[in-house]
Amino acid sequence: MELMKNFDDLKYKYSQLNVFEKIIVINGIIFIIGLLLGVAKISFLKDWFALPSQFSDFLWQPWSILTYGFLHGGLFHVLFNMLFLYYFARILLNLLNVKMVLNVYLLGIISGGLAFLAIYNLVPRNYLINTSSLVGASAGIRALLVFIVIYLPYTQIRIFTFNVKLLYVMYVIMFFDLVGLAGTNQGGNVAHFGGYLLGFIYAKQLQKGNDIGLGFQKFMDYLLSYFQSSPKKASRMKTVHKSKSKNMAGVDKKEFNSLNKQKQIDVILDKISKSGYDSLSAEEKEFLFKAGKD
């Protein structure tokens, strides 16, 4: 009886998590299961859900183009990936709807997998470090990282006692990924650049008003049915209201124009944080887009 009560408590707590928190929990559970199977010398998870480098093997398990992103090769691998996933998703979920953020993440994983398959099946093997399969969510996380940097170029993070633009953090990570192309994790670093490319294209197209993930949305709706928040929590979610005001970010246009450029950007970002990106007018979106290019 006590066991059932504990299970119900865990089930309730799980239902209160957002989509990405649930994904983090699932990754953790899969990692623990993998460890237990490894002790028993059973390679079921890797054999069936890791992405094989040989295209002929991939054809027998096409689901692995996505499922490889839920497997990890070690404790630090899963730990750092999930920490980054939590942080980057948290930034984007304050501004964009959950389906769009999930689109970027999952399409980043798929794009990374396709890059891995392309390199290992088109480039002669004597130029590559032998890799039998690919695991890890890193490509999806790189997609989120570059998406934030392109779409929200003024995003900063706090390191110890000072703030640093996320752009510079991305440059450092990208540098190590580039160096890693000549290392033992060559296949993983190839996948990282597939994720970077997806995040870059997605953000650039969204700035133009094109959501390239809409074709993926039907699949997303099916997937989200397994991660829905409870009705009680859903009722507390932020509602986005589209503003019909001709003012710039709720400020009189004359007053807005009197501000310096950085303060104008801060006013618009404040509006996004309160009401979401969709609440911006076409003029405000155009202003933010041009500011991001400067």
pLDDT tens across 95-148, in order? 888 889 999 999 999 999 999 999 999 988 788 888 889 999 999 999 999 999
Segment 229-233 mean pLDDT? 47
C-alpha span between 48 and 289 (Å, rounded)? 43
CB atoms within 10 A of CB 281: 18
C-alpha span between 61 and 68 (Å, rounded)? 11
Tokens of 286: 């155009």
Under the banding of pLDDT at 50, 70 and 90, the label for residue 228 is low
Residue in the block written with tokens 């948290």: 90
Under the banding of pLDDT at 50, 70 and 90, the label for residue 2 is low
What was the pLDDT predicted at 172? 94
Using the predicted structure, report yes or no on whether residue 155 has a pLDDT greater than 90.
no
Under the banding of pLDDT at 50, 70 and 90, the label for residue 240 is very low
Can you list the positions of beta strands (E) in the chain? 51-52, 133-134, 156-159, 162-165
State the sign of the Cα–Cα–Cα–Cα dihedral 125, 129, 132, 134. negative
Given the DSSP bridges, would you call strands 162-165 and 156-159 parallel, antiparallel or unpaired? antiparallel
* Single pTM value for the model: 0.75
CB 156 within 8 A of CB 147: no
What was the pLDDT predicted at 250? 61
Under the banding of pLDDT at 50, 70 and 90, the label for residue 230 is very low
